[in-house]
Amino acid sequence: MTEMIVRKDRRAGRLTLNRPRALNALSHDMALAIDTALREWQHDPEMALVVIDAEGERAFCSGGDIAAVYRAGLAGEHQRGRAFFRDEYVMNARIAGYPKPVVAFMQGFVMGGGVGVGGHASHRIVGETTQVAMPECGIGMIPDVGGSWLLGHAPGRCGEYLGLTGARMGPGDAIFTGFADSYIPEAEWPALKERLAETGAVAVIAPHPRPPAPLEGRDLSAFGGPSVAAIIAALEAAGEETALAALRRNSPLSMAATLALVRAARGDRDLRESLARELRFTARATAESDFLEGVRAQLIDKDRDPRWSADASAAHVAAMLAPLGPDELGWEEST
């Protein structure tokens, strides 16, 4: 079975994630296929826009397929993960900077790598089943694929809250926080895709009113603290047990690095700066973080009992986010 269905459909380039049994988890080959298609269509006069969607009702994309990265990291082959993340981030940046409209239809789970595919499109459509999250701190990773950029530009302290806890957002919150643009009931999606392909015009997108956004008006001031420890102390004082439970089960190193990444992203001029900073962590993740243990506990053995051991000190966070020298992500790769 083809993991990515790539085809031309009248005036639209069509990209369909096609691993429904795996919740459309994004493999390295899928990331490369998306990037290759976008390169080819960029100057094609027949292609007026691009539509990205996914097979199955449960997920647009539940995240990156990191099993191969995990196995390679266990064997000391850290280059496997570095190559995957680098190519994925180049693809993410291409979607964000694409000169033609990119319309993403995001149903069900949209997490991690799925946010990297759909969350940077120019027109991001969600429906009643949409659940968006960046849960990487729970596997010893950081919100990457440009997640730090989106979190950093969410209103108030939503970015810190979502990044540190990995909390899920329904369609209303996804639009409120800037992870999506339009709410359209999913029963209307097939006809809308037909109109997009026929007309090549995004003007045919007619959003419905935004659903309620529980995050709007919620007091997240505790997440403005200068450190994870200060945030935990503020949450304890406020009796915020649900948020505390998430912070207590996530990787201390991942949370400390996430806090730094989200706040640094607020000063970035565009997504590519955030992606380059994220790669500094992920390139080192299989060798110097809690990533292998987090994947083991959550995805491999599924005992849900990670034994975090990575150094979460400020010095180690700085080392994990230090420039990569000749391996720094350069944007000549995406031109």
Determine the pLDDT at residue 330. 83
CA dist 68 and 72 (Å) reads: 6
CA dist 142 and 257 (Å) reads: 7
Q: Which pTM value belongs to this model?
A: 0.96
Domain extents for the chain?
A: 4-334
Top CATH class of 4-334 equals alpha beta
Ramachandran sector of residue 10 (left: φ over 0; alpha: ψ -120 to 50; beta: rest): left
CA dist 196 and 269 (Å) reads: 31
Determine the pLDDT at residue 335. 47
Say which residues have a Cβ less than 8 Å from residue 256's Cβ, sequence separation at least 6: 227, 228, 312, 314, 317
pLDDT per residue, tens digit, the chain (335 aa), is 799 999 999 999 999 999 999 999 999 999 999 999 999 999 999 999 999 999 999 999 999 998 889 999 999 999 999 999 999 999 999 999 999 999 999 999 999 999 999 999 999 999 999 999 999 999 999 999 999 999 999 999 999 999 999 999 999 999 999 999 999 999 999 999 999 999 999 999 999 999 999 999 999 999 999 999 999 999 999 999 999 999 999 999 999 999 999 999 999 999 999 999 999 999 999 999 999 999 999 989 999 999 999 999 999 999 999 999 999 998 765 54
Determine the pLDDT at residue 332. 62
CA dist 326 and 324 (Å) reads: 6
Pairing state of beta strands 4-9 and 12-17? antiparallel
